[in-house]
Chain A
Amino acid sequence: MFKLLDGPQTLGRGWTFWSCFLAVLAAALIYPVFADSYDVGNFSYFLIWVFMALGLCLMWGYGGMLSFGQTFFFGISGYAYGVLAINMGGGSTTIAALMLSVIIAMIAAGILGYFMIWGGISGIFFGIVTLSATLVLAFFLGQTAGPEWHIGTARLNGFNGMKGMDPLTIGDFYIEGSALYYVMVALIVIVYIALRMLVNSRIGNVIVATRENPQRAEMLGYDVRKYQLLTFVIGSGLAGLSGALYTSWGQFITPSSIGLPAAAMPIVWVAFSGRSDLTATLVGSFLLLFGFQTITVYSQQAALVLMGTLLLATVMLAPQGFVLGVGKLVVDRWTGRRRRDANSTLADTGRLQSDEA
């Protein structure tokens, strides 16, 4: 298991990295003790979006599939949570609603992904089709204002959005405030570790090989379509997790959380952070969301302009991502010093161990 965590597909390995990881985790865990409830709630809100960013990182950075459909699955899952939570009566059933809504998003990803991947859609056309699906869903939901648009007792409500669903609840206990924050932190740790193990596993090897040269990967006997579909379903499922958590956090969801501006955001977060590394995406997305929210308090327009500027700056100055670039610089400096000290070789660091499987 440890070999999978420290594999060649992820930046940061060894006791230094994991010590820093544990220190950051410890700081995150004690944060609510010192912060006021408003800030804790805001942090929970930032963390909601990190799942979507990690999903896109897996698809785009590791799998080579640029999907503009993260908010499509976010929306499907978000609305599904609302419909299920309202119709199932709230309370503890919200936990089942959360899980079911993520599964619904994954099934939708499986269907859309099957037609795209088996249909041979790749490259820029993958982005175009997923963006089209996103815009169609946003447009459709915007036209559901009439009373005839309901699923059970849940009204879709057009641009005003769906509301009235319970937050996540266990018994009589609403998972809100600090409790929600701790749930978010736990989920992020689980998802991050699981994705790290996935990309460093045999499956991850094939996912990366497919990104690099799909024909060569197929010539090694791998049905690359299955690996691409798996990647798409997992990445989209994580967007679905963000969607369901978002709806349960705010107890509402509107079509604007699916449309074009929203769909572009994950691309900016992941591009700026460094699409080819999970840790860079985790850190970078959180920082960007924090910065975006801080600036939005003063001017939403300025925040959007900043996002656009950051995307341009990333394309021009650091195509591999700013956070990843800084991370690699730190790692190179660190490993370079250690190498001089211990006279070790770089070749050994990329080695997969036999007992990983």
Chain B
Amino acid sequence: MALVDVKGVTKRFGGLTAVSDVDLTINAGEVHCLIGPNGAGKSTLFKLIVGLYPPTKGSIFFDSIDITDERPFARVQRGLSIKMQAPSVFKELPVRQNIQIALQARFSGAERDVEEERLLALLDLAPESGKLAGTLSHGQQQWLEIGMALALQPQLLLLDEPTAGMSPEETFKTGELIKSFNAEGMTILVVEHDMAFVRQIAQRVTVLHLGKIFARGGLETIIQDEKVAEIYLGKTHAH
């Protein structure tokens, strides 16, 4: 069953067409990776789904409801949750308060306290909970933002390059976390460059190139696609 349906979406910035007539379906319960070379339109498509950009043409449906004209907060209230490309946390507030602000949208009372501790432990941020978020390492800020996105208990978790700036160990751990969220039934859309990471988590992959859908399918199908290797992976990396 389609949780997100992007239908014929185009986004133009002046004379530049960043996304052109894209159709994309994200099924409930899958980990879907959006890949492509730089300038392919991945982040633009991500921001169109999130609501940060209005599409020039086309429609976006979430759970069969047309959300094309809704603001980001309304989409979040429907069950989307977002982690942006650059760490986007409240840097001048303590880590714990960052989590609390996210949690208070869904929880209250003792339930919120329990969830707060669970998230801090899950993300290895409990020892840092009193520090200002801006003083955390880049990787920790990424995790904190993932934690804030998770706090909303979304139906669809959207992650834009969640491992940017992380060490290989942190990247692997993030992948395992994503798989564990998916195992609990969460649908996840990931925009990512790191193919090793994509191999670790993806169930379905969509390849964007020059703003258009270039290929889509299961992970193995995409990896073995010669044309995808040519435009994106590089032949030597594909085999």
B93 touches A219 (CB 8 A): no
Interface assignment of B72: CB less than 8 Å from any CB of chain A: yes
| Contact residues of A between 65 and 116, Cβ < 8 Å to B | none
A347 touches B130 (CB 8 A): yes
A220 touches B152 (CB 8 A): yes
| Contact residues of A between 311 and 357, Cβ < 8 Å to B | 345-352, 354-355, 357
Q: Identify 6 new A-B residue pairs, CB closer than 8 A, beyond the known A205-B97, A218-B71.
A: A8-B94, A213-B91, A215-B52, A216-B148, A220-B102, A350-B130
A220 touches B100 (CB 8 A): no
Q: Which A residues touch B91, using CB under 8 A?
A: 212-213
Please tell me which one of the listed residues A202, A224, A357 contacts residue B73 in the complex, with CB atoms under 8 A apart.
A224
Q: Which B residues touch A351, using CB under 8 A?
A: 96
With A219-B72, A220-B76, A221-B152 known as contacts, the answer to whether A346 contacts B100 (CB < 8 A) is: no
B90 touches A221 (CB 8 A): no
Enumerate chain B interface residues (CB-CB to A < 8 A). 50, 52, 71-74, 76-77, 81-82, 84, 88-94, 96-97, 100-102, 104-105, 108-110, 112-113, 129-130, 148, 152
A220 touches B148 (CB 8 A): yes
Q: Which B residues touch A224, using CB under 8 A?
A: 73
Bound CA–CA A218/B92 (angstroms) = 17
Bound CA–CA A224/B105 (angstroms) = 13
Q: Which B residues touch A215, using CB under 8 A?
A: 52, 72, 84, 88
Q: Which A residues touch B82, using CB under 8 A?
A: 219
Bound CA–CA A327/B214 (angstroms) = 60
How extensive is the interface on chain A, given as a class? 20 to 34
The closest CB in chain B to the CB of A213 belongs to B90
The 5 closest A-B pairs by CB, nearest first: A347-B130, A221-B76, A212-B90, A350-B94, A216-B88
Q: Which A residues touch B110, using CB under 8 A?
A: 354
Q: Which A residues touch B93, using CB under 8 A?
A: 208-209, 212
Q: List 27 A-B contacts (CB under 8 A).
A: A209-B101, A212-B91, A213-B88, A213-B89, A213-B91, A215-B84, A216-B89, A216-B90, A216-B148, A217-B101, A218-B71, A218-B73, A218-B76, A219-B76, A220-B76, A221-B76, A221-B77, A223-B74, A345-B130, A347-B130, A349-B130, A350-B97, A352-B100, A354-B108, A354-B112, A354-B113, A357-B109
